[in-house]
Amino acid sequence: MICFEDIVIGECMTSSAIVVDRDELVDFAERWDPLPIHVNGEVAASRGGPTAPGVFILALKQRLIHELPEHAVIASFGYDEVRFHHPLRPGDEVRLRFEYVDTRRSSSKPDRGIVTVRLSLVRNEDEVVMSHLDTILVRRRFPLG
């Protein structure tokens, strides 16, 4: 379990790769975001096949988080700067990159700290498909006295 003291700004972890499954993408889109560009049909076919809804891309990212070492998270503040840089399509291979960008002590509670991470879904070797910042509250192993 990764605690606040273990975190070093600039350090980075990467998940293994997964391939975007066409049926899973289209089933998800039909249920949650049935725009013609996301589901089977003429519109998607004329544009090289369906593209993933943004929320499907966020769900893939969430699945990949479970591959990385666990943090002693108390709470999450939310996401900032969520950006969809490129369309994602069935057959694409993606990894999750997890980078620590900031840490600070809680001003009121000695048992925790605030950590900002950048999560990036990366296609092939280096193309960022989606990125966002995530700010989490992480427990200290040794509370400040």
Nearer to a second copy, 139 or 144 (CB): 139
Asked whether 70 and 102 are in contact (CB, 8 A), the reply is no
Supply the minimum distance, in Å, between the C-beta of residue 132 and a second copy.
8
Which residues are at the interface with a second copy (CB under 8 A)?
Answer: 31-34, 53-55, 58-59, 62-63, 65-66, 76-84, 132
Nearer to a second copy, 32 or 142 (CB): 32
> What's the CA gap between 55 and 88, in Å, rounded?
12
Residue from 14, 1, 11 nearest 102 by CA? 11
Nearer to a second copy, 132 or 140 (CB): 132
Nearer to a second copy, 81 or 125 (CB): 81
Q: Checking phi first, is residue 52 left (phi over 0); if not, alpha (psi -120 to 50) or beta?
A: beta
Supply the minimum distance, in Å, between the C-beta of residue 99 and a second copy.
18
Supply the minimum distance, in Å, between the C-beta of residue 60 and a second copy.
8
* Range 132-144 burial, b when 16+ CB lie within 10 A, else e: bbbbbbbbbeeee
CB neighbour list of residue 108: distance below 8 Å, 6 or more residues apart: none
User: Which residue's entry shows tokens 């990764």?
Assistant: 2
Nearer to a second copy, 79 or 142 (CB): 79
Supply the minimum distance, in Å, between the C-beta of residue 142 and a second copy.
26
Supply the minimum distance, in Å, between the C-beta of residue 114 and a second copy.
15
